[in-house]
Amino acid sequence: MPRKLLIKNIGKLLQVRNSSKPLCGEELNEVPFLANAWLAADDGKIADFGTMEDFPGISDWNGLEVMDAGGRVLMPAFVDCHTHIVFAGSRQDEFVMRLKGKTYEEIAAAGGGILNSALKLRAASEEELLEGASLRLKQMMAHGTGAVEIKSGYGLDLNSELKMLRVIRRLREKFPIPVKATFLGAHAVPPEYKGNKDGYVEHLIKEMIPAVAAENLADFIDVFCEQGYFSKTDTEKILEAGLRHGLRPKVHAEQLSHSGGIETGVRLGAISVDHLEYASEHDINLLKNSHTIPVLLPGAQFFLGLKNPPVAEMIRSGLPLAIGSDFNPGSCPSGNMGLMMALGCIMYKLSPEAAFNACTVNAAHAMGVEKECGAIFHGARANLLMLKSGYDYPSFAYHFGMEIIENTIFSG
C-alpha cells in the first residue's frame, strides 16, 4: 500500500462507526454506511472520509496514489478471531474416513484427530511450519481476512508448543495485518501422558505456561473443555494459571457436548467462548451478564455435521455474536470468512447485517483488536476490501463461496 492513498467515488463505504462497543440485539441488524463517499489513508491508517459532495479536494499530491472506486462498495476487512493455521501435513484421509462412516470422535480415539496433527507437527521444522502457515494466511487475506487470531495446540510438549508460538510471532512480523497468539497447550492429552491427564495438567501449569509467558509468546490462553479432553475442573485450573501469567482466557466450549466451558469462561472473565453448539439457557443467561463474546464457528459445525447452536435464543437475549473460521486441518480446512458469513446466514438464519457484524465489529472484540479493526473510523488500520462492481455485503451469503472481492488493501 502507498504511504498516502485516496479512494474516490465509493458507491457505499460500509461499517462507518465511531464507537467500538460490541453489537447486540437490534444493533446487530444495522450496518451503517456512507453513500457516494471518499476515504483517505495515511501511513496505513484511515486519516479521513466523507461524502463526495463534501470532498475538500486534494491540496498535497506529494506521494499520493488516487484510486477511483467507480461506484463499488468499500468495507473493512474481515476479522478472523479463531484459527489454528499453524499445522503440518493434512488430514484429508480422516475426512475421507468420515465420508465412509467413521465419526470425528471415533477417528480421534483411534489416534487420529489432534494427536495425528501433533505427531506431524513435532516432526516439522519451524521454517516448514512458517512456510505452510504463510501460504494459508495469504489465501485467507486474498479472501478478505484483515486480522487473525492463531492458536498453538498441535505441539503438546514444551518445545513443540514454543515452536508453534514462535511461528505465530514470525507471521506477525511478516504480514501487514494484526496477529494475536493463543496458547492452546490444553488441546489434547499427548501420548507421553496417556492415562495420566492430571500429570499433563500439572506440566502445563508448572512448566509450559510459565515458559510461554517468559518469552511473551501469547496474548491469550485457551482450553478444549470437552469429554475425553479437559474437564471443567481442569479448564478452571489451567485458565487460572494462565491468568496469573497475564494471559486472558478463551475457551473451546460446548462443541460436542455440554461440558461447562461457558460457565468457567464467564467466571474467569474470558474474552470469548467459542463453538457453543450445546450451550444451555443457563449459559446464555450467564453470557448476558458478562463481557465475554460468544463466538460461533459455522465452518467446523458444517464440516463435522453438528447441530446448530441456539442462535435465535442468543440473539433474543441480546448477546453480541461473533463468527470465526476455526481454520484447522481436522474440523474446518477453510479460512474463507465470506463463506463463514454465508453459513451464518444460511444455517443460523442470521440477517446479512448480523452475519456481517459478527465477522467484523464483534469478531474484533473477540480478539481484542476493536481499537484498530472491524470498522471504518479515524485512526483505524486501513485494511480494506473493495467488492466487484454490483456486489454488496449480502452477496457474500447469496453467492456463497464465490470470488466477489475485487481488491484487497492492507496497511503494511
Cβ-closest position to Fe ion:
326
Give the nearer residue to Fe ion in terms of CB position, either 326 or 392: 326
If contact means CB under 5 to 8 A according to the sort of partner, which of ligand NIG, Fe ion, none does residue 113 touch?
A: ligand NIG
Give the nearer residue to Fe ion in terms of CB position, either 217 or 297: 297
Minimum CB–partner distance for residue 328 and ligand NIG (Å) = 5
Cβ-closest position to ligand NIG:
330
Residues 228-267 that bind Fe ion (CB under 5 A): none
Residue 105 to residues 97, 225, 227, Cα–Cα distance (Å): 12, 14, 10
Residue type, 226: E
d(CA 412, CA 410): 6
If contact means CB under 5 to 8 A according to the sort of partner, which of ligand NIG, Fe ion, none does residue 224 touch?
A: ligand NIG
d(CA 356, CA 374): 10
Minimum CB–partner distance for residue 40 and ligand NIG (Å) = 39
Q: Is 222 one of the binding residues for Fe ion (CB under 5 A)?
A: no
The vertex-21 CA angle with 17 and 23, nearest 5°, equals 85
If contact means CB under 5 to 8 A according to the sort of partner, which of Fe ion, ligand NIG, none does residue 114 touch?
A: ligand NIG
Residues 351-380 that bind Fe ion (CB under 5 A): none
* Sequential DSSP letters for 299-311: HHHHHHTPPPP-H
d(CA 373, CA 360): 8
Residues 297-336: x where in contact with Fe ion by CB under 5 A, - otherwise, as a string:
-----------------------------x----------
Among 223, 217, 218, residue whose Cα is nearest residue 187 = 223
If contact means CB under 5 to 8 A according to the sort of partner, which of Fe ion, ligand NIG, none does residue 83 touch?
A: none
If contact means CB under 5 to 8 A according to the sort of partner, which of ligand NIG, Fe ion, none does residue 255 touch?
A: ligand NIG
Q: Is 226 one of the binding residues for Fe ion (CB under 5 A)?
A: no
Q: Do 217 and 160 meet the contact criterion of CB atoms below 8 Å apart?
A: no
Residue 396's contacts (CB-CB under 8 Å, 6 or more residues apart) are 338, 339, 341, 342, 352, 355, 356, 404
Q: Which residues bind ligand NIG (CB under 6 A)?
A: 113-114, 117, 224, 252, 255, 300, 326, 328-331
Residue 396 to residues 16, 47, 183, 400, Cα–Cα distance (Å): 19, 28, 32, 6
